[in-house]
Chains A and B, each alone.
Chain A
């Protein structure tokens, strides 16, 4: 069964704006990871957040995790055309292996 579900399915913004994507999951997790996939660089790991962490930053990326709501969000600040890609959350849960969500397709318009 699908563990992570991203929301929205698709998002279009202007360059310079912020983009927020959400991920909801169903069972308790060990950690949650965000990946980006575009035609140029394939699937690339962005950030990992452990179940006992609430927020992590990496450059223009900010990830939050709310285990009580079983949800995570990925914020990309000051977006660039190069951020155009599909973004996936992936969960690692006890007795369940790595599961990717269906992804959010982000388009950053110049």
Chain B
């Protein structure tokens, strides 16, 4: 079974530039998550999708971050404009469904973003 795919694996940009990350979840997984992991910290949930709909985006900085999941499959996360503090690894995860967190999440390799 193919895992969660993410691209790019690495990205270096200047502050105030824009950047987009792509995620392809495991086939058949209805729930998709985007996390931000700053060096030395645990992952922080940014947004959770259930099929096409947003379940939780309470920690997404909506003035600069946006995410979409078209057709309930692939997802993109965008930052516009980027700030220095956005330097982190952005992880995508998927699970079969979201039922009070009972399903384990499968994580992609992440995209390491460096903002200069």
Contact = CB atoms under 8 A, between A and B. Distances in A.
Contact of B101 (A44, A98, A102): A98
Interface range for B: 20 to 34
Contacts of B102: 30-31, 48, 50
A97 B58 contact: yes
Contacts of A43: 43, 91, 93, 107
B104 interface: yes
A84 to B, nearest CB: 16
A45 B40 CA distance: 19
B100 A30 contact: yes
Interface residues of A, number: 20
B106 interface: yes
Nearest to A92: B101
Contact of A100 (B43, B55, B106, B108): B43
Contacts of B107: 42-44
Interface in A72-110: 88, 90, 92, 97-103
A33 interface: yes
Contacts of A97: 45, 48, 55-56, 58
Given A31-B101, A31-B102, A98-B101, A42 B41 contact: no
**Majority-rule SS of B interface residues:** loop
Nearest to B6: A42
Given A42-B107, A42-B108, A97-B48, A103 B101 contact: no
B105 A88 contact: no
Interface string B9-33: 0000000000000000000000001
A98 B33 contact: yes
A30 B101 contact: yes
Q: Which of B33, B55, B56, B104 has the most CB of A within 10 A?
A: B104
A92 B100 CA distance: 7
Interface string B96-115: 00001110111111100000
Interface of A: 4, 30-31, 33, 42-45, 48, 50, 88, 90, 92, 97-103
Interface of B: 33, 35, 40-45, 48, 55-56, 58, 91, 93, 100-102, 104-110
